Amino acid sequence: MPKTGNVSYSKFINIVANYSKLHRSHFTFHTIVIVAIPIIIVAIIALGGYLGYSYFESSSKVNDADKYVSTFVEEVANTTTNNTNADVGEGSISSNIAAAETGSNNSSKTQTYKGFNVLGTIEIPKTNVKYPVLEGPASNDKIEVAVAVQYPLNATLNTEGNVVIAGHNYRNGTFFSDNKKLENGDKIYITDLNGSKVEYRVYNTFITEANDNSIYNRDTDGKREITLYSCTDDLAGRLIVQARAD
């Protein structure tokens, strides 16, 4: 009987010990779950808030740019008319006529967007791009809100030669993110400060290094050309899109 009792007692001790281990394991897992759930919830809310804000900010930039482009020609026409009327009587009649005919009165056509001087607008139907083209240099604060001239710094749009226009690639469809979709023959429209809208057609696309200067000062044989400049998706290279007016 004592032996049987000892065996029963040992079993009892083992059962209690195993139960205690199981209970502690369950308690530890339960505690981890209780602590982890609120952290996960907060992280999801924070991520959702960040993504929501990023989407709202991107959408706002696109909407602002789209509204500006849609009214650009009208604004240019109004500014030119108002300044022409204000200039009546200043200087000789012949000089005023000459200025009007040559468009030499550049001050009468000044346009701004988000505090930056504007040279015109760009529209790319295939990628649904519509942005003001800001005066160079293409600093980061400029290409955060639009696209900007990178070369030459004194560029005038829709004139002979090559104009390089830089834009961000955020890989989200905004700015020049979808330039990789452009192919030879695709259309790009540039509207200048005179209100003239010129059609360019893509004739070359390629990837090059960031320090490749050959894309800037090129012989265009007297033709009007634009070069769109943006980062590749992996940020390692530069995607170049060249287009020419007919």
User: What per-residue confidence (pLDDT) applies to 94?
Assistant: 40
Supply φ then ψ for residue 49, to 5 degrees. -65, -40
pLDDT at 53: 47
User: 90 pLDDT exceeds 50?
Assistant: no
Kindly state the tokens that stand for 173: 């469809």
Interval 33-43: pLDDT, tens: 677 777 877 77
The answer to whether 227 touches 217, Cβ cutoff 8 Å, is no
- 166 pLDDT above the threshold of 70: yes
Alpha helices by DSSP H, listed for the chain, are 2-86, 93-102, 140-143
Angle, alpha carbons 63-66-69 (nearest 5°)? 150
Bridge partners for 205 per DSSP: 241
> Hey, what amino acid is at 208?
T
| Digit-coded pLDDT (tens) for 130-152 | 999 999 999 999 999 999 999 99
Residue 50 has pLDDT above 80, yes or no: no
The per-residue pLDDT for range 105-130, each reduced to its tens digit, is 444 578 999 999 999 999 999 999 99
pTM of the model: 0.69
Q: Work out the pLDDT band at 100, boundaries 50, 70, 90.
A: very low
184 DSSP assignment: T
Helices and strands in the chain: count of H runs, count of E runs: 3, 9
State whether residue 219 is helix, strand or coil: coil
pLDDT at position 103 is 42
38 prior amide bond cis, ω within 30: no
* Strand duo 129-134 + 147-151: pairing: parallel
